[in-house]
Chain A
């Protein structure tokens, strides 16, 4: 089955930049989407189709992809950005097409 690998944790000081990576095979043919999940809350879409932001998501959140790695970048980090972040792709490479979520990254604001 398709696997998306994320670092378990990232720590960042307020005002600095956090970068969260997501690794997978054959990324070039897949779109990557990112979700933020604050403690005790449902996930929220923050980036879709590698680089696009839904309305209402601050410009501080941006996505990129190069080779087999996608990156969610959070600029000018704030205390409210402390959350778990998940990447996601749609995998249609097998007989059983479906959603695959990354392992998740906990962002801690120091």
Chain B
């Protein structure tokens, strides 16, 4: 059974770069039937999709974050990562990683990590 675990600093200073890693266990990150995604949720608010990456390295990002986001994938470590530059207090949130599955003309997230809280503060 696939499990995901987020890791990274819980505190980031304004204007710096937020970096998180998601470790995939119990399954192959190289599976051609899965994409891998990041989602965040500010306290008391809804879910916001950040981006997704495929084993080929192909990515899609939320247009509202695209200028500051990059994602990468390391098959040797069974990990994928998120980098968000020039952070502000508005980037404070719980960050989730998730496995994405395709179906017909759509995609959904069937496995989620437990989430990691990131606070942007000096």
Contact = CB atoms under 8 A, between A and B. Distances in A.
Interface of A: 1, 29-31, 33, 35, 41-45, 48-49, 54, 86, 88-90, 92, 96-104
A103 B113 CA distance: 21
Interface residues on B, range: 20 to 34
B46 interface: yes
Contacts of B61: 98
A103 B108 contact: no
Interface string B99-120: 0010111111110111100000
Those 9 A-B pairs whose CB atoms lie nearest each other, nearest first: A31-B106, A99-B49, A33-B108, A42-B112, A90-B106, A101-B47, A96-B63, A104-B46, A48-B108
Nearest to B102: A90
A41 B96 CA distance: 11
A108 to B, nearest CB: 16
B16 interface: no
B60 interface: yes
A31 B112 contact: no
Contacts of B114: 41-42
Contacts of B62: 96, 98
Given A42-B114, A42-B115, A86 B49 contact: no
B63 A48 contact: no
A99 B35 CA distance: 12
